[in-house]
Structure 1
Amino acid sequence: MNQQDIIDFIQQSDSPKIKYGFTDIDGVLRGKIIHRQKFLDGLSDGFGFCDVVWGWDVSDTPYDNGQTTGWHSGYPDAPVRIDLATFRQLPWEDNIPFFLADFTPAPEKQPGIHALAACPRSLLKRIAGQCANMGFHAEYAQEFEWFNFRETPKSLQDKSFQNLEPLTPGMFGYSILRPSLESAFYHDLFDLLGQFDIPLEGLHTETGPGVYEAAIMHDEVVRAADKAALFKTAVKEIAYRHGIVATFMAKWNADLPGCSGHIHQSLWNSEQTANLFYDATQPNNMSELMRQFIAGQLYCLPHITPMFAPTINSYKRLVEGAWAPTTVTWSVDNRTTALRVLNHKEAYTRVEHRVSGADTNPYLAIAAALASGLYGIRHKLSLDIPASVGNGYTDKRNGILPSNLADATRVMANSPVATELFGAEFVDHFTRTRDWEWRQYIRQVSDWELKRYFEII
């Protein structure tokens, strides 16, 4: 459908309702339902949306260190524009029309910056534009692992998130048997996501009680991020309708594997007829462009780790022997390194970024992956780091990943590389939000501390 077709469809619809949304800095989908007429009226000039969405955290608590907005600015409206190209219908809500939106520049506020600098989708669109200007078509996809529980939001609160009932018991990865216990949910995921324009390449159980993994079909980079961002909320909404709560925490239980959000990436020519990562004349079929791309990602990774590991919990997943990388490494088809090259066929030759967890904001993680790869191409970096062989956890020749959000944020906040990739305004805003997240954490007293020290110390 072209834009006029979409407008005609909305005008002729029996329903007066339109739903639109966007992700905040944490990847949480925010939005509202509006009347059809308001939608039509706002297509040319956009809408006003309270910019508090860039001034609070996942619990709606205002930052005390924000510059983008805050009590100092009075939380005014910021301009948001609906992207008609994102039109889809919500199959589990009577096919209500749904659109994604992002924020466009507003007049400068003093003090502060306009919401565009904080908007993750706007950041990715800018980097995708840089990619296109370099003559490349970026093809991306994200895959997710997540745990499912036979709970409700209320039961989670009533139980204080303890003694939760997993959807199915036991460790049973790639099970044909387990999904049959919840076949209605399992098939709803595959079918309804497809109807919502998020087609899945595959869906299966992973190892762990009630854990699923889904790979989304690849697409142009911004559309791929749109699908990944919508996937997480869509899964939760479909789960609700089956009496299930889904979590995309990176590590909800210390004794179980974490949840990844691996990013698959390749660059093609502008006509999309040739995979520029593939060269049959070179070792491992890896083109020079692919080697530069990988070199850029490895070089930039320590400078931008919070983009791939944005929460306190992210770093509980990034531990040795837990199916998540801890070293700045690459390999050919090796699941213990940060970057994994898949190269058996031109159509599927790609780089898998394995640092990213299920808790990432897809726009930010994908923007970081693409920007750092383009950095390597732009600077013609050589891939001097040998491919890891065997256990990547022991290959520390090129360094290790930060072990906590505070250290990772400190590096990024002071990094000229991060500023070159994303701009000073975004880096300032994002690292302030990560600093806030860390400060909320260190004030808390954990169950572990109570059990360890309460009586004996």
Structure 2
Amino acid sequence: MPPAKKEVRPSGRGGGRRTPAFLKNYRGVRNWKEASQWLEWRSIEDIECITPDQAGVARGKMMPSTKFTSNTSLALPSAPFMMTISGDYPEDGNGFEYPEDDGDLKLVPDLSTLSLVPWETDPTAQVICDLVHQDGRLVEFTPRNVLRRVLGEYTRMGLKPVVAPEIEFYLVRKNPDPDYPLTPPVGRSGRPIAGGSGYSIAGVNEFDELIDDIYHFSASQGLEIDTLIHEEGAGQLEINLRHGDPIELADQVFMFKRTIREAALKHDMYATFMAKPIQGQPGSAMHIHQSIVDKKTGKNVFTAEDGSETEAFGHFIGGMQKHVPAALVMFAPYVNSYRRLTQAASAPVNTKWGYDNRTTAFRVPRSDPAARRVENRIPSSDANPYVALAASLACGLIGIQQKIRPDAPVGTTANEDEIDLPRGLLEAVELFENDEQLRAMLGDVFVSTYAAIKKAEFETFMEVISPWEREYLLLNV
């Protein structure tokens, strides 16, 4: 974990004595003693103990900070981690069984994630927790633990992945009635935001005050934004995060989503990470840049001593080409996700790769040899960051283990050719369940649980009659 960010000491505390350095950290402490002092120094009243569910939604408990530091045992039932996005539960079958007792799972706080909740009016802190069974074993089907399982496979090979996510999202007007389409917000100019503003500074400036709050909320939590841009869509922004450890970066995306939503609400609008929220506008992606370093030497294993590409680099791409179609449901988890994945659009529907070619699924950006990396452009921004990172890194590692050779790189437009990916959610789930190498990497319990949830979500979607059906079928069939 990189050094934690510092903050200015609250006034009136510490007197003339020297303040311990860890108290000034925006994010993270080393042990419970430091946690108690950190909370007391900030006069924290409440603490949110949170963990991501399968959709990346924060689940957990809130409690007084004094209770949090008094060896209180924290527990949650397993039910929230087997729940669909609509709050339903899947049927048993195909390896999935809902636990009859629905017994408690333990919440174990990761104190390196302790930070403020800057949008709360009362002094409040938050901490991300892991879930373990009563005997201490990691709960196999929870997202943070699935990513940790994949990273364990890298560790056994003496490797460490480095990732950098890029997250796109839309700002939209408040929409309390879901029967009405989403519309772009009004910026400081007083006019609704229009599309076609890619990389426009004026487009970013339309939301100056909101973006200031995003920066302020992020800094208060020790979250690092690398860059922020206006994307092509109307009111569509993108935040790029600095590269680092996959667990830490997944935590940051998890926290950024909460942060951006809260900042938007403060300014009377919604922030949405739906893959395709507005008809006729571009979809929102979560591109993932990936490289791998040797744990002993710290050098990028994609680059040889002379600066050339290594076999591991090609094998990583080969693994992604072969297994990403089966992992697509982890990158595109909802029916709406597949509205983004269409031919001749900016989102790739192929499994090709190329040098600085944004029409391919796997792009190798221009860089110095030491920074050689592979960008996975398939994931949408609605994906759970822990699940998406686990899937992407698992596919690449299978390629390295199996020495899978990639196809030749593509230097032309690739997104107008045949579609190499599943076209819908059920097709994606079927491929996911049947990829034995991916199943072995991710674990049977996770695969069966995640697949059951996605099937149940599809059935819930099929209960809804869409405007398209009313428009074209009502009086014509």
Q: Deviations over 1:155-211 (max 9, x none)?
A: x22363336342442121111112223211122223321332221111011112111
Alignment partners' CA distance in 2, 1:231 and 1:352: 21
Contact 2:89 2:453 in 1 (8 A): no
Shift of 1:75: 3.2
The aligned residue for residue 78 of structure 1 is 105
Shift of 1:95: 5.3
Q: Deviations over 1:346-403 (max 9, x none)?
A: 34321110110000000000001111111111122222x111121112455xx70000
Contact 1:286 1:343 in 2 (8 A): no
Contact 1:17 1:36 in 2 (8 A): yes
Contact 1:51 1:69 in 2 (8 A): no
Shift of 1:440: 1.3
The aligned residue for residue 288 of structure 1 is 311
The aligned residue for residue 219 of structure 1 is 244
The aligned residue for residue 64 of structure 1 is 91
Q: Which has the higher helix share?
A: 1
Deviating 4+ runs (over 6 angstroms):
66-69
Shift of 1:234: 1.3
SS class of match (2:113): strand
The aligned residue for residue 50 of structure 1 is 77
The aligned residue for residue 115 of structure 2 is 88
The aligned residue for residue 61 of structure 2 is 32
The aligned residue for residue 415 of structure 2 is 393
Alignment partners' CA distance in 1, 2:164 and 2:133: 28
Q: Which runs of 5+ in 1 are unaligned?
A: 109-113
Judging changes above 3 Å, is the alpha-carbon distance between structure 1 residues 88 and 228 closer, same or farther for their aligned structure 2 residues?
A: same
SS class of match (1:262): strand
SS class of match (2:105): strand
Contact 2:350 2:420 in 1 (8 A): yes
**1:160 maps to 2:190:** no
Alignment partners' CA distance in 2, 1:244 and 1:100: 27
Judging changes above 3 Å, is the alpha-carbon distance between structure 1 residues 325 and 95 closer, same or farther for their aligned structure 2 residues?
A: farther
- 1:98-137 matches, cutoff 5 A: 98-106=126-134, 116-137=139-160
Contact 2:91 2:452 in 1 (8 A): no
Shift of 1:320: 1.1
The aligned residue for residue 276 of structure 1 is 301
Alignment partners' CA distance in 2, 1:227 and 1:347: 25
**1:22 maps to 2:42:** no
Deviates more, 1:438-447 or 1:316-325: 438-447
Contact 2:364 2:375 in 1 (8 A): yes
Shift of 1:69: 6.8
Q: Alignment identity in percent?
A: 28
The aligned residue for residue 38 of structure 2 is 9
The aligned residue for residue 454 of structure 2 is 434
Alignment partners' CA distance in 2, 1:90 and 1:223: 18
Q: Deviations over 1:323-353 (max 9, x none)?
A: 1111111111111111001242134321110
**1:169 maps to 2:186:** no
Q: Deviations over 1:201-253 (max 9, x none)?
A: 11011112111111111111110111112111111011111112011000112
Q: Deviations over 1:28-77 (max 9, x none)?
A: 1222311223322447xx5111222123212222333477675x625332
Alignment partners' CA distance in 2, 1:417 and 1:128: 16
- 1:231-242 matches, cutoff 5 A: 231-242=256-267
Alignment partners' CA distance in 2, 1:238 and 1:330: 37
Shift of 1:10: 2.7
- TM-score normalized by the length of structure 2: 0.87
Alignment partners' CA distance in 2, 1:178 and 1:394: 30
The aligned residue for residue 274 of structure 2 is 249
SS class of match (2:133): coil
Q: Which runs of 5+ in 2 are unaligned?
A: 1-28, 187-191
Deviates more, 1:202-211 or 1:73-82: 73-82
The aligned residue for residue 111 of structure 1 is none
Shift of 1:425: 1.1
Judging changes above 3 Å, is the alpha-carbon distance between structure 1 residues 235 and 162 closer, same or farther for their aligned structure 2 residues?
A: same
